[in-house]
Amino acid sequence: MFALGLPFLALLVASVESHLGVLGPKNVSQKDAEFERTYVDEVNSELVNIYTFNHTVTRNRTEGVRVSVNVLNKQKGAPLLFVVRQKEAVVSFQVPLILRGLASPRALSRASVMSWLSALGCRYQRKYLYQKVERTLCQPPTKNESEVQFFYVDVSTLSPVNTTYQLRVSRMDDFVLRTGEQFSFNTTAAQPQYFKYEFPEGVDSVIVKVTSSKAFPCSVISIQDVLCPVYDLDNNVAFIGMYQTMTKKAAITVQRKDFPSNSFYVVVVVKTEDQACGGSLPFYPFVEDEPVDQGHRQKTLSVVVSRAVTSEAYVGGMLFCLGIFLSFYLGAAGHPPFLGWVEQGSHPRVLADSFPGSSPYEGYNYGSFENSSGSTDGLVDSTGTGDLSYSYQDRSLDPVGTRPRLDSMSSVEEDDYDTLTDIDSDKNVIRTKQYLYVADLARKDKRVLRKKYQIYFWNIATIAVFYALPVVQLVITYQTVVNVTGNQDICYYNFLCAHPLGNLSAFNNILSNLGYILLGLLFLLIILQREINHNRALLRNDLYALECGIPKHFGLFYAMGTALMMEGLLSACYHVCPNYTNFQFDTSFMYMIVFGKGNTAFWIVFSVIHIIATLLLSTQLYYMGRWKLDSGICRRIIHVLYTDCIRQCSGPLYVDRMVLLVMGNIINWSLAAYGLIVRPNDFASYLLAIGICNLLLYFAFYIIMKVSGAG
């Protein structure tokens, strides 16, 4: 039986040997290697080279190890595979190394017909080839005081021809970063760098700052925990930790509580393309599945780790801000009008009940100044001293409806003829006067005014509720995504000035909006106190509250205070994670996507709309709203031009208004011409400039008209 089985055993051994000869290498070359020495060897499909390295690892000293590989032959079909086997990690990479870029439209040679088909979905990823590769080995922590560790570098390929390569393993003396010390280095897409930082005692937060003198090539800064493997290539750096792209500057705030080992890696990677940093995509001749040799894309960077703001500074800053705003509250509380002293201290109290024929305040209208033929005396102090404290010449403070009828010197009774009662109520009569005053614009009944201006408060309160709820939910989602994914490019912070607190990435940006809310609340309290004092004066029938001053628009003031508080709340929500999607000023003008920023037709249409709106607003201000925009507007314009300019040259009736409005039109027409000629790229800032200029013009118009006494 044994003799019969020998032929079958020999046949089985021969078949296995022939199978191994086809699929696997026949020779394995293993040699002891040394650091800081360059090895130039060859490898093919039948040969595997194994290099054995050993080094001493101590607990208190971390030393980096870097492997550099350069393939001297142009290998495209069968790359070399390098496998670094360590005690607790394995790093493998091929050379030439191929990295993929972002998806880009396919550059087809058939231009006109196929270009739009390419933009619809024919997309591919460019491949970039690198002959020289350098990688830093992950250094797992050791539990012993000193330990000798071995690691092996295996080199293999499936190419049947010999391929020459260079291998060098070196130590990194500057692998550990120190607080406040700057370190400079070079890096490429195939030669990434990372360094280790350990938190000193008593330091809970640090800022990692990376700078470069060149904006491009685009690079990525990543903060990762001290674990193996380290993701340090362009195609995997976003898998773990916090990261952000950079051109010339980058900063990431790192907190000790996020890293249980009290240490972290600072990983710096150069991207294969610059589109992520706003750069352009270079043109390369397109061949399907053909790698592109980028040449030399190296970047010199400097990294420094400095201490961040301490918790004591957080508390001190918040208390300082609260103290400043609290001083406004104390100042307002100590102001006499806020305490209700104005009625007793600033002027004597005059009651309407001290005059015969007077009635409660409901019958009074602001701005009524009918002449009285029977009363020429002024108002007398109710204390009985007889001093003339406040008087109207040729004017009675009694309401028209309750004034006693006086005997007429004429034989014709007043009831026998019609009076022009509309002279005190018709807007066309009042607002077309050459000189306007506040009393001319305040003739409505106070009850009507109160209800009218109360609408502003309820409208803004309704808008605030329905607008704030989705905004708060949106920013919470954004902050959660940033914390979970680690992608800090989602939010547009100034990372050099962003100070986190809890789950918020930039707490100081939120704290800076506290003033809006606190001062808005103070404004509401002041208005509430003034309304209470005013209502008390009305209940006392105080003539100063009944007859003096402009109408009290408390509802409008409440709306202003609410708007100020909502501005603070929404600004704080925006600064939780500012970006284009929640930047309301930009998203309000998304029609720019349809027209394009450089579209000539859009700028012509917008400039025409700007000029027409300026003319309409000027007409509204000049005629004080006493004109109509209807089908007969063109006929009336021609009639005015014919009568005032052709038949006779008449000057403007309201000279002061005309001069100021002409100046305002010159400025707005200049802005429209600037936009049409220059076509600024930042349309939002251009529109904001128009709004600010018109706001300043309105302030100047109001102040000049008040100072000149023309209205």
Q: What secondary structure does DSSP assign to 652-684, as a single string?
A: PSSHHHHHHHHHHHHHHHHHHHHHHHH--S-HH
CA–CA gap between residue 113 and residue 116 (Å, rounded): 7
Q: What is the pLDDT of residue 228?
A: 80
Given this chain, do its domains 25-102+124-173 and 174-282+294-308 carry the same CATH topology?
yes
Query: Cα dihedral angle (222, 224, 228, 232), rounded to 10 degrees?
Result: 0
Is 201 in a helix, a strand, or coil? Answer: coil
Q: Which of 209-218, 259-268, 429-438, 466-475 has the lowest mean pLDDT?
A: 429-438
Whole-number pLDDT of residue 434: 54
pLDDT at 45 over 80: yes
- The pLDDT mean for the chain works out to 72
pLDDT of 391? 39
CATH number for the domain whose boundaries are 174-282+294-308: 2.60.120.380
Q: Which of 112-121, 168-177, 183-192, 491-500 has the lowest mean pLDDT?
A: 112-121
What are 690's two structure tokens? 């128009």
Q: What percent of the chain has pLDDT over 90?
A: 0
What is the share, in percent, of the chain residues with pLDDT greater than 70? 65
Query: Can you list the positions of beta strands (E) in 362-452?
Result: 379-380, 388-390
Query: Which of 285-289, 558-562, 571-575 is predicted least confidently?
Result: 285-289
**What pLDDT is recorded for position 110?**
37
Q: What is the pLDDT of residue 643?
A: 72
Half-sphere exposure for 302 (CA within 13 Å, toward CB): 10
Secondary structure E strands in 2-122: 27-32, 37-43, 47-58, 64-71, 80-85, 90-95, 97-105
Poorest-confidence range of 185-199, 525-539, 636-650?
636-650
Q: If DSSP codes are grouped into helix, strand and coil, which group holds residue 384? A: coil
Q: Helix H segments across 623-654?
A: 633-641
pLDDT at site 375: 39
pLDDT tens digits, residue range 529-539? 888 887 787 78
Rounded to an integer, the average pLDDT of 151-177 is: 85
Range name among 33-47, 293-307, 536-550 with the lowest pLDDT average: 536-550
Give me the CATH code for the 25-102+124-173 domain, please.
Answer: 2.60.120.380
DSSP state of 594: H
pLDDT of residue 292: 61
Q: Is the pLDDT of residue 439 over 70?
A: no
Minimal CA–CA distance to 58: which of 147, 125, 134, 135? 147
Residue 96 scores a pLDDT above 60: yes
Is pLDDT above 70 for 390? no
Task: Identify the band that residue 433 occupies on the pLDDT scale cut at 50, 70 and 90.
Answer: low
Q: Mean per-residue pLDDT for 632-649? A: 69
Instruction: Name every residue whose Cβ is closer than 8 Å to that of residue 697 and which is 6 or more positions away in sequence.
Output: 663, 664, 667
Query: Domain ranges in the chain?
Result: 25-102+124-173, 174-282+294-308, 311-336+431-596, 598-710
Per DSSP bridges, beta strands 146-157 and 80-85 are antiparallel
For the residues 330-336, what does the mean pLDDT come to? 74
Mean pLDDT of 303-307: 87
**pLDDT grade for 652, boundaries at 50, 70 and 90:** low
For residue 77, is pLDDT > 60? Answer: yes
For residue 389, name the pLDDT band (cuts at 50, 70, 90).
very low
Q: What average pLDDT does range 496-518 have in this prediction? A: 80
pLDDT of residue 20: 44
Average pLDDT of span 322-345: 68
- Which is higher by pLDDT, 381 or 102? 102
Contact between residue 435 and residue 710 where contact means Cβ atoms under 8 Å apart? yes
Q: What average pLDDT does the segment 261-285 reach?
A: 77
What's the pLDDT score for residue 332?
Answer: 76
CB 253 within 8 A of CB 305: no
Pairing outcome for strands 27-32 and 47-58: parallel
Is 50 exceeded by the pLDDT of residue 405?
A: no
For residue 150, pLDDT beyond 60: yes
In this model, does residue 573 exceed pLDDT 60? Answer: yes
CA 621/CA 627 separation, integer angstroms: 10
Instruction: From 396, 320, 395, 398, select the one nearest 358 (Cα to Cα).
Output: 398
The mean pLDDT value for 345-370 works out to 47
Mean per-residue pLDDT, 194-217: 85
